[in-house]
Amino acid sequence: MQRDGVPRVLAALCGLGVCAAAGCSSAPGPAGAGATCGSTRTAAGVPVIIKVARGQVDCTIAMRVENQYAAEIRNGQVPGNGGGAPVAVSGWTCQGYDTPEVLSTGNASQCHNGSATILAVLPVPTATNTAA
């Protein structure tokens, strides 16, 4: 018996980070805390939104760091279960969150550099009608 959200969470945990994908968008220039830089997918293909959690970050850099992080996970270059260990990516430190954190916050992973932090966040699912 599977619960609705379990497959999505497992997919997120198997590939925390973001992949380079056609159609990803990002706003140019620096963005402050709370800003959204764009959306893409984790290394496991799970949709995520890249947000600035702290400091000022150029969204082009944020997207590039997240894409590199996902590429390293896909290529098996990140230690830990599903690539969960911290890893240096272009001067940033990136790491996936544990299952309880993902389930409670929707945050799949974070990368930080000095006083700046970016998050890969699972989008809030939209309600759908299902047949009974």
pLDDT tens for 82-99 read 667 888 999 999 999 888
DSSP annotation of 15 reads T
Question: Does pLDDT of 25 surpass 60?
Answer: no
Range of the domain at 87: 23-121
Q: Does 132 reside within a domain?
A: no
Q: Does 1 reside within a domain?
A: no
CA distance 2 to 84: 24
Q: Does 2 reside within a domain?
A: no
Q: Does 81 reside within a domain?
A: yes
Mean pLDDT of 67-78: 88
Domains of the chain: total: 1
Residues 56-70: pLDDT tens digits?
A: 999 999 999 999 999
Q: Provide the mean pLDDT of the chain.
A: 78
CA distance 84 to 4: 24
Specify the pLDDT at position 65.
95
Residues 44-57: pLDDT tens digits?
A: 888 999 999 999 99
The end-to-end CA distance of the chain, in Å, is: 17
Specify the pLDDT at position 85.
81
Q: Does 39 reside within a domain?
A: yes
Specify the pLDDT at position 81.
65
pLDDT band at 132 (very low <50, low <70, confident <90, very high): low
Specify the pLDDT at position 68.
93
CA distance 68 to 91: 12
Query: Which amino acid makes up residue 119?
Result: L
The model's pTM: 0.72
CA distance 1 to 127: 22
